[in-house]
Amino acid sequence: MGYAGMTMIVSQFHLNMAPPRTCSQPPTPPPERSWLGDTLEKAKDVRDGLNLLVAGALFLHGKGKAEKAEKAVVPLTDQPDVKLDRPVLLAPGWNTEHWKFDFLANKLIASGKNGESTVYLHMGQAFRDNQCTLPLDQIPSNSKVFVNIWETPKDPPEQTAVQLKQNMDLVQSALGPTSVDLVGFSMGGLASRKYLDNGGQHVNKLVTLGTPHQGTRFGVMCDRLIRHKVDWATKFGGLEPEDLPAMQWLAAGKPNLQELNQNWPRQRAQVQDSLFIASTIEPTPRMGWLPFGAGDGLVQVEHASLPGAPTKVLKGTPLLNHITLPHDSQVFAEMRGFLNWEALPGAPTPPLTVANHTGGSKTPYGSI
């Protein structure tokens, strides 16, 4: 056989062995679950739904006690007026109400040593009010108390970290290059760490309050219930489909949180020091065989820190519930010492009124 004939045979062999074109093949259908597998999945949905009902009822009870204590005595009236060593930037968490930091912020500006008023930062713009309706043409140069207001309260850390950078850049532009102390509440602590993980600068010290650094059982339950559309449970909890991205940060064991924790040494190297503040006051959903353990009602105490990270666990005062941590007196005292706030002599200045304090959602988790 000549060379040309062999070439034709080889070519025909390659043609016959070539894989079929994928465009002509129908898509492979997803594998069907067996009846038993489907039944087991539905049973798990019911289990997590019932667990959320119990956890939500306990959370509502603890929330009610904290709000009652909050109304009985204006928070932080037992703490001294202070002079800040550096500006402080406060970062809210998931579903955090817009006024949540106002007890703390009002306390910090009461002495007149830390600027005339709180500056609220939203999407790289400055405002006079916590609902961001009164824009500031220029941030006063003596301002030291800043509050982030996210684009929406449901934004997950990969979005709020970007917003935090916008707001930090605005502070740097207004005050000139300066180190800022960053305080993150709940998921705001994850946003603060994500900001550092993205290369964020200008942070002197980092404080987190009730931050689920290792995730929560609550997040695990809600992630499943939202994805599986277990509406009777999510409606009770005050959860919506838009909450799913945040739940995938609050759920223990999720890849984005694991990656953030693997990078903690890099984040820690970008600040002078850090302090994680946790509390034990309410039965809290926990990972493992036991359904509840010690915590603030939302975050089990062991998950509010990272291995080897400086941590302070507080107990004994009524505002250590997750929703009122930012204006608990023990928390304030810890921040005052750690952030080098100077206690001023004399009687504390009478507290300012907290505006737009609505009392929050009637569902367990509709507002935090």
The reported pLDDT for the residue numbered 18 is 40
Q: Helix (H, G, I), strand (E, B), or coil: what is residue 335? A: helix
Structure tokens that stand for 159 in this block: 């979005």
Domains of the chain: 47-343 (3.40.50.1820)
pLDDT at 9 over 50: no
Q: What percent of the chain has pLDDT over 90?
A: 83
Predicted confidence (pLDDT) at residue 355 exceeds the cutoff of 70 = no
Q: pLDDT tens digits, residue range 335-348?
A: 999 999 999 998 89
Characterize the bridge pairing of strands 273-279 and 203-209.
parallel
Average pLDDT, the chain: 90
pLDDT of residue 353: 74
Mean pLDDT of 85-108: 96
pLDDT of residue 366: 85
Helix axes 217-227, 35-72, angle to 10 degrees: 130
Per-residue pLDDT of 184-231, as tens digits, reads 999 999 999 999 999 999 999 999 999 999 999 999 999 999 999 999
* Count of CA atoms in the C-beta half-sphere (13 A) of 108: 30
> Is pLDDT of 14 > 70?
no
Average of per-residue pLDDT across 274-296: 96
pLDDT bin (cut points 50, 70, 90) of residue 4 is very low
Is pTM beyond 0.85 here?
Answer: yes
pLDDT for residue 29:
52
pLDDT digits (tens, 9 = 90+) for 303-325: 999 999 999 999 999 999 999 99
φ, ψ for residue 193, nearest 5 deg: -70, -35
Under the banding of pLDDT at 50, 70 and 90, the label for residue 33 is low
Where does the pLDDT of residue 31 fall: very low under 50, low under 70, confident under 90, or very high at 90 and above? low
Alpha helices of the chain — where are they, by DSSP H?
3-17, 35-72, 102-109, 157-175, 187-197, 217-227, 231-237, 244-250, 255-262, 264-268, 329-338
CA dihedral 203, 275, 254, 43 (to 10 degrees): -140
pLDDT over threshold 50, residue 101: yes
Q: Convert the pLDDT of each residue in 147-198 to its tens digit.
A: 999 999 999 999 999 999 999 999 999 999 999 999 999 999 999 999 999 9
Is a pLDDT exceeding 70 seen at residue 20?
no
Q: Can you tell me the mean pLDDT for 94-111?
A: 95
Amino acid occupying residue 255 = P
Mean pLDDT of 57-78: 94
For residue 324 the two structure tokens come to: 């009122």
Residue 214 phi, psi (nearest 5): -110, 20
User: Does residue 1 register a pLDDT over 50?
Assistant: no
Task: Provide the pLDDT confidence category of residue 15 given band limits of 50, 70 and 90.
Answer: very low
pLDDT at 354: 78
CA dist 52 and 364 (Å) reads 10
Query: Could you tell me the pLDDT band of residue 291, with boundaries at 50, 70 and 90?
Result: very high
Would you say 364 and 91 are in contact if contact means Cβ atoms under 8 Å apart?
A: no
Task: Give the pLDDT band of residue 12 (cuts 50, 70, 90).
Answer: very low
pLDDT of residue 154: 97
215: left (phi over 0), alpha (psi -120 to 50) or beta: left
Give the CA-trace dihedral at 341, 351, 321, 359, to 10 degrees.
-140
Decide: residue 359, CB within 10 A, 0-12 exposed, 13-18 middle, 19+ buried: exposed
